[in-house]
Chains A and B, each alone.
Chain A
């Protein structure tokens, strides 16, 4: 206990330290005056246009400036040094120049554009490297490409952006996150990548505001990622945030406003058709006797529209989607960034506010983020970084998610009475009323995090770094569920009752409090001796995470206006709480070597310990090595002119994974409650039981990755190609495989199981300039396929399976032979039960207990692998044009192959026994009212609920081609000419418009977006306009 207290104290101490440093962000800088000589000049580009904001510094001195809106600069140099001084002129995207001043007092400098980015630094684990010196496989995307997508969350913007990075989503909700996978699936467990922001691991990629991103780099192969060892098996995403550069002084403001609109919404049959089809369903289930109108009398069905006109309260027609959903939702955001960089202090500070409304009442999302990054140069030896970031989001939603209801509810119930008052829907089931009057659930998330880092350079080449980063996260959830009364249609004073799910007013509160601390010590030594270059890194890192949560509630509030616990009755109160923690320690090292920039070698090792394993099985070592050969540096390649750069890469390494709960090796006793009589009073007693079987000697699972790649640039670096082939081999996989149910425990985690993933990917890009037209086209495509090896068992997921020889989450079910058309077919075939009738789905009898067809369709013996469920051939690309200040961008993305399933919610009539009927099945199902020809071509089985377990069970009947191609984003912008802007002291002014997710090609049934979950918030198209000003 004592130790724990101390730990908390130290963490808090750093908390304050970070706070104090954070507050000292703008320290004015003074320079001493002395006798100086003034030199001035102008910097222009190849076309003669002035370049604004170009950094002009004196080499080896702390004197510098930047060019003004006319491209002009003035610099004062101590007189005695001026003639010997050298000016360094640098500008992003242009080649740097060094100019000896001599006696010149007015200098004209023309900067040439840097045509390729081979010299650019690429972020890698615990460091950076020149792109041409890379030996591993990685992809990166810069911050502009992220913000250009105009998504609220970063993760959504990564869709189709890089090869080998798969981003899937099922909802378009503004606070919805996505599922990111790098190079397919590596493990059965958690296959989500490790996210590193400015060197520190974070829980959620979406904690970063897209506007703050400088660069996102994805480490894909083992050699790149293995410096992160244990947690990197599923790949690593490195994010760097924007920092100020020397002599950069800007104020930047960005405003965007627009709307979100559902891409598609499914259709349902109208009220009359609903009743006709319900009758047919009832008639089918009652054995097709004489009564063909078992549910709705014929006269009512036939006259329903007239009856509705006469008496809409007794014969309602409700379009629930229209009633609940708005046709669009507005959104807007403001971003302010101040950048100030002197020689000693460089600060970048941003504040971003986003507000996104929802497509129904009570739904909204607000986010406020702020990030201040400081770089301090203390003296020749010491420099420091002090970063602080803050995030606060408020997500509101109704107390009941109406999406499922708005799709399934049938049209013949009233959402509102004819006079507009709230109606009772289906016997009190009315999600519209709950959304509108049933209170709100609000989730406030507050994050306060930072980093303090110290770099010491005791002598040339050696850099020692210490970083400490705490992150404090607080979640507060308050769900105030209000009772919603409804009054009868006839009399607004007669209480009819309360909507179901809203019969009493209840308050549920939740608090989650967690913190993470990361501590790093790094030593980096670089040295070049003639043609040999070394870069050596050694490091230590430790990480600690603590989580505690608390829930409390009271029910049956008398008043609906006081959402606080002490306003509720004490009788119906409840509370709960729990906590968990975990920790890592790691030692790691890396050596990079190259000879003549031609032969490259890199080796990494990481030695990791995790609290998730028992002492004896806790530590694991994860080595890797990679090689690169820059062929274009060889003399025999020098003359091959079309090729400007050519490099072959190969790497091999192992990575670990252990994300399986917090105490997997310990059999634990979990607590609960049971009720007893004591005399005639009911009392609650604590109970205890081991629920999970535990295996003590579990340890790391390892993934070995082999990768070969090729980087090639052609035609003066205008055409660029990067391609990779890889194979991943995961063993000792931590699996909670199905153990016999009769053991009586939940499935334990065990080191069993192997799987292989094989894939390839490439990126292709063309950049060129024709006169004043700059344009570029990029494209990427990748594929990954996972096969399960011996698993020591099987994992069942209902309609998907993982077992030896299957793909990861392969569809698993019956082989359908179509729909039974005749009694003969029915009588002469195996069935799931004797209740199957003509018009139901017919399955193939594959096997039985004796290994041969047994005349029965049984789950044990007749289900087979039906094909992979994961997306294949995923790709994306961009097209950009820029001409005289007009810029145009287009982003596309797609999935080339995917077996998708028509889920029961999409095709089943009368879901939950009273639900709606999807319009897509009307006219396309097997029916006694059809002709034989019509039935032969029926796409759906007969209408039946009694036999739904036969018809809607997983089989290949419901699988279809789910591939799609989608235009992710189109943007058009215009930057005002600099000549005009100069007069108003503005550096840059751009107005723009952007459309996202506007168009897709796919084979999904009408009304379904290929990415939309069957009852989740719609995928939306965004239409955005905005303005961006930079002073």
Chain B
């Protein structure tokens, strides 16, 4: 009997201790089954679509506005393939946001909100979805389209939908958003998507698809809202000190405190060497030369241009965008002149070794130019982290989109000139009507205006991620992205050249009808160095490749774009 007791004890132990429960639910995550059943949950789902991850822009490094020594990207080097991480990530991110917006639209009924509130939230989701599809059809042309949550089974056999059909759906989404989104938010409310943002993004997708009437109307409606106005100073619009400007229509805010900042290489690649950066991501000479002179003429036509003092008499945006030689920048006088071996540290008032001239430092900017736009001393603080707004679309863009649409429609009237002159006068910090203090635009000739508008956009939007879109839709990429990247001669010959008094440009390059400067003349004379040849394959590169995985998984039902 003794052992019987032991068995009994063991069994009791078994019953007491066996308390493992196999029905375990995630401890730090929610469940999709009943998500979106309260207004808080709906708002949290919507908030997700505002994450900065989804709001990526094209890179200026892909274009003729920015250079990185003698290096190219797979886009301006012409080596892009369907394995490209660039095209994969745009595709994937956009669809992630689309599926989340679809999920919200499909499940918002769970929350039993009032019709009005529900419509506003659905409008936000429509807005987000439309922005994402806009991006997809711009980069990829025809893409897979769906507007409800889909199961894996439903994906079978899904192919690409004509981009023009998708465009109509995008318009519908934007129109719904326009109808239900508020014009603005009170200062106690969160700034979410607005009616104006929906108009502006609708205009942008229409612009990308050259649907000029829609551009005209959407931009005009946005202008008529009376909510937005141009910021009074072009230079400080992009600085940390200007937050949530009236000109900004859709912003992704940054914040050091919340760990979303410009940091690392995005800082040091841009700032000067004297300030502790690399000065390696630089504005190109082509961009520099595209800025008009204060008489409204290009540099090769204007008598005001002096190649020895190339910043003089230029559109003010030139030195708001590119650091003017001899000006104070980040605590030092910026002077890349080969003979400027010492420069003034304006903080200590001491002359220090000038690392921004290639005579002293071989890696100082290879074309002597560095970016000014958006860069200020806050870039040196906090271990080189800063948090200005990431402006995704702003009012100046709406004005110029309106003007471009009217020009292309050949409906040129005073409103076109007003829109363009608004933008230009602001650059000069003067009133549009004060036409003696800035080169006001007066011509009503369509082709002249078109040329002016193209140059105006380049001057206005440099380093804002818009140049790539413009190069693609103007079919300008095949020209400008097949030109070489130019830079300074090596330090020793450069010094010889400078000693002959030929600094900065030994002669003025010619500028063609597209505003593109031609340096081949200077190259032939040995005045400049060709750093690398850009390459753009017009047979394929106007569209990105569809990710290879997508083509392979669908067994070719999702077709590849031509020539990839």
Contacts and interface: CB of A to CB of B under 8 A. Distances in A.
Given A294-B529, A668-B31, A741-B547, A427 B278 contact: yes
Interface in A815-843: 832-835
B83 A859 contact: yes
A690 B100 contact: yes
B: contact size bracket = 35 or more
A504 interface: yes
Contact of A490 (B81, B255, B278, B353): B353
A682 B2 contact: no
Contact of A668 (B30, B41, B255, B276): B30
Interface string A547-580: 0000000011000000000000001101001111
Contact of B548 (A540, A584, A672, A860): A860
B47 A740 contact: no
Interface residues of A, number: 119
Nearest to B531: A286
Contact of B535 (A738, A742, A834): A834
Nearest to A741: B92
Given A381-B6, A578-B27, A743-B150, A687 B47 contact: yes
B254 to A, nearest CB: 7
B47 A685 contact: yes
Interface string A35-62: 0000000000000000000000000000
A76 B352 CA distance: 95
Interface in B370-393: 382-384, 387
A666 interface: yes
Interface stretch (A243-251, A384-392, A942-950, A1017-1025): A942-950
A633 interface: no
Which secondary structure characterizes the binding site on chain A?
A: mixed
Interface in B89-115: 91-92, 95-100, 103
A666 B34 CA distance: 12
A282 interface: yes
A287 B533 contact: yes
B165 interface: no
Interface in A427-478: 427-428, 454, 456, 458-459, 464, 466, 468
Given A293-B490, A581-B24, A743 B258 contact: no
Contact of A743 (B155, B529, B560): B155
Contact of A946 (B51, B79, B152, B490): B79
A94 to B, nearest CB: 36
Interface stretch (A114-122, A177-185, A495-503): A495-503
Contact of B6 (A382, A555, A691, A744): A382
Given A10-B17, A294-B529, A675-B258, A689 B24 contact: no
A482 B251 CA distance: 34
Nearest to B564: A858
A689 to B, nearest CB: 4
Given A427-B363, A676-B191, A458 B51 contact: no
Contact of A832 (B29, B81, B146, B383): B81
Contacts of A946: 71-72, 77, 79, 532
A282 B80 CA distance: 20
B259 interface: yes
Interface string B243-259: 11000000111111111
A169 B70 CA distance: 39
Contact of B253 (A428, A666, A676, A949): A676
B378 to A, nearest CB: 14
A472 B528 CA distance: 69
A793 interface: yes
Contacts of A676: 47, 50, 190-192, 253
Interface string B11-40: 001100111111111111111110100000
B31 A666 contact: yes
A140 interface: no
B82 interface: yes
A295 B531 CA distance: 9
Interface stretch (B395-403, B452-460, B463-471, B551-559): B551-559
B45 A662 contact: no
Interface stretch (A266-274, A327-335, A360-368, A610-618): A610-618
B451 interface: no
A741 B7 contact: no
Contact of B32 (A428, A521, A690): A690
Given A504-B383, A740-B155, A860-B560, A581 B32 contact: no
A929 interface: no
B187 to A, nearest CB: 4
Contact of A610 (B22, B254, B258): B22
B27 A684 contact: no
A679 B2 contact: no
Contact of B3 (A459, A585, A694): A459
A271 to B, nearest CB: 14
A458 B48 contact: no
B492 A577 contact: no
B26 A580 contact: yes
A737 B24 CA distance: 25
A611 B22 contact: yes
B244 A677 contact: yes
Contact of B79 (A382, A456, A833): A833
A794 interface: yes
Contact of A289 (B47, B530, B550): B530
B537 interface: yes
Nearest to A293: B490
B245 to A, nearest CB: 10
A498 B276 contact: yes
B96 A667 contact: no
A668 B31 CA distance: 5
Contacts of A581: 24, 27
Contact of B70 (A295, A382, A456, A859): A295
A590 to B, nearest CB: 19
Contact of B7 (A286, A287, A464, A858): A464
Contacts of B251: 677
A859 B30 contact: no
Contacts of A466: 10, 13-14
Contacts of A28: none
B189 interface: yes
B268 A675 contact: no
B491 A297 contact: yes
Contact of B99 (A666, A745, A913): A745
B363 to A, nearest CB: 7
Nearest to B35: A669
B507 interface: no
A456 B10 contact: yes
A746 B41 CA distance: 22
A703 to B, nearest CB: 22
A294 B489 CA distance: 9
Contacts of A670: 29-30
Given A676-B190, A794-B552, A858-B548, A682 B258 contact: yes
Nearest to A851: B556
Interface of A: 3, 6-7, 10, 282, 285-287, 289, 291, 293-297, 299, 381-382, 427-428, 454, 456, 458-459, 464, 466, 468, 483, 488, 490, 494, 496-498, 500, 503-504, 519, 521, 540, 542-544, 555-556, 571-572, 574, 577-585, 609-611, 615, 618, 662-663, 666-680, 682-691, 693-694, 738-745, 748, 793-794, 796, 832-835, 849, 856, 858-860, 913, 945-947, 949-950, 953
Given A293-B490, A456-B6, A685-B43, 19 more contacts: A286-B530, A287-B532, A297-B491, A458-B6, A519-B18, A666-B26, A666-B32, A669-B31, A673-B258, A678-B188, A680-B244, A682-B387, A686-B47, A690-B35, A690-B103, A743-B152, A794-B552, A796-B549, A858-B82
11 contacts: A295-B70, A427-B363, A456-B6, A555-B383, A688-B30, A689-B48, A690-B32, A740-B553, A740-B554, A745-B96, A835-B79
Top 4 closest A-B pairs, CB basis? A458-B3, A744-B99, A504-B383, A669-B30
